[in-house]
């Protein structure tokens, strides 16, 4: 007997511009949050589009926001542009 | 707040600030955004080739629009501070690099015997027509009349060779 299919929420789309977010930072953030939601990555022009789905809609939203924050933090670290950092 | 440079939009629980990159460089945008990462969800977007949009969504529940307005004010201050700091760093880059190089050079300590062995001493000594490199004793010591005449004769243009 097969298990009932899990109802996934509507995908939450996160758009990250390639000039503002480092690719390695996006990759690392996806790797970190992959355990919490289903994340699909596509490229559309200068944007990296992340489609985030979860059985719970609130979780997809939360993961999208946390992932964006994490990717931004890593990008700032990678570019050495945090406050007080002389480049 | 000048709307042609910074433009804020208040949504239900978040605020978006669009700013001109010619006024606030990307480094300043990153620096200002970084200070909000602990209490807000921050999202950057490029709305046009010269304009960047910063979206802030507080992690805690916001009860009034005034809190969001205060947040925009704080972000604007931080942007200005980071832009100014970035400009100072850019202008003083040469000085910072020179001081850093000197500090690193000093930390390396005195040259070793091997370094001195490899040092090229064959270079010509520098010219010192004004006698700056001479000590006070060498420059003003009393000399005997015979020695003076010899010195003056050798120092004169043409010297002894001019008479022959």
Q: Which ipTM was obtained for this model?
A: 0.85
Superfamily of the domain at B6-93: Ribosomal protein S6/Translation elongation factor EF1B (3.30.70.60)
Q: B19-68 pLDDT, tens per residue?
A: 999 889 999 999 999 999 999 999 999 999 999 999 999 998 887 888 88
Domain ranges of chain B: 6-93
The answer to whether B13 faces chain A, any CB pair under 8 Å, is no
Q: Is residue A42 part of a domain?
A: yes
Q: Is residue A82 part of a domain?
A: no
The answer to whether B74 faces chain A, any CB pair under 8 Å, is no
Per the CB < 8 A criterion, the answer to whether A80 and A87 are in contact is yes
The domain that contains A20 carries what CATH number? 3.30.1370
State the pLDDT at residue A4. 59
Among B38-47, B50-59, B69-78, B131-140, name the one with the lowest average pLDDT: B131-140
Per the CB < 8 A criterion, the answer to whether B52 and B29 are in contact is yes
Q: Is residue A7 part of a domain?
A: no
Q: Is residue A17 part of a domain?
A: yes
Q: At B95, phi and psi to the nearest 5?
A: -65, -45
Q: Is residue A18 part of a domain?
A: yes
Neighbours of A59 (CB within 10 A): 16
Q: Is residue A26 part of a domain?
A: yes
d(CA B30, CA A82): 6
- Answer with the residue of higher pLDDT: B14 or A18: A18
The answer to whether A76 faces chain B, any CB pair under 8 Å, is yes
pTM listed for this prediction: 0.68
CB spacing of B43 vs A72 below 8 angstroms: yes
- Please count the structural domains in chain A: 1
Cα dihedral A29, A30, A34, A36 sign: positive
Residue matched to tokens 């015997």: B113
Per the CB < 8 A criterion, the answer to whether B36 and B58 are in contact is no
Q: Which residues of A touch B35 (CB under 8 A)?
A: 83
The answer to whether A80 faces chain B, any CB pair under 8 Å, is no
Banded model confidence at residue A43, pLDDT cuts 50, 70, 90: very high
Q: Is residue A86 part of a domain?
A: no
CB spacing of B30 vs A76 below 8 angstroms: yes
| Chain centre to alpha carbon of residue B53 | 29
State the pLDDT at residue B160. 45
Structural domain of residue A54, as residue ranges? 12-77
Quick one: closest CA in A to B37, which residue?
A69
Q: Which residues of B touch A76 (CB under 8 A)?
A: 30-31, 33-34
């Amino acid at each position: 007997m097969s298990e009932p299919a899990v109802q996934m929420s509507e995908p939450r789309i996160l758009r990250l511009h390639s000039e503002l977010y480092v690719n390695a930072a996006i990759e690392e953030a996806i790797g970190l949050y992959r355990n919490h939601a289903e994340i699909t990555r596509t490229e559309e022009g200068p944007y990296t589009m992340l489609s985030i789905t979860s059985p719970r809609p609130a979780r997809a939203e939360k993961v999208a926001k946390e992932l964006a924050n994490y990717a931004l933090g890593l990008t700032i670290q990678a570019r050495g542009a945090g406050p007080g950092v002389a480049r | 707040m000048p709307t042609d440079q910074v433009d804020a939009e208040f949504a239900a629980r978040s605020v978006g600030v669009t700013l001109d990159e010619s006024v606030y460089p990307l480094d300043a945008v990153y620096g200002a955004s970084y200070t909000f990462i602990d209490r807000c969800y921050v999202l950057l977007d490029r709305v046009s080739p010269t304009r960047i949009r910063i979206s802030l969504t507080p992690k805690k529940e916001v009860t009034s629009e005034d809190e969001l307005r205060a947040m925009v004010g704080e972000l604007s201050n931080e942007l200005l501070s980071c832009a100014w700091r970035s400009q100072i760093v850019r202008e003083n880059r040469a000085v910072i690099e020179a001081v850093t190089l000197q500090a690193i050079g000093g930390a390396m300590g005195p040259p070793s015997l091997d370094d001195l062995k490899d040092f090229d001493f064959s270079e010509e000594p520098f010219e010192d027509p004004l006698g700056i490199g001479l000590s006070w004793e060498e420059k003003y010591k009393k000399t005997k009349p015979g020695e003076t005449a010899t010195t003056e004769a050798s120092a004169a243009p043409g010297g002894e060779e001019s008479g022959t």
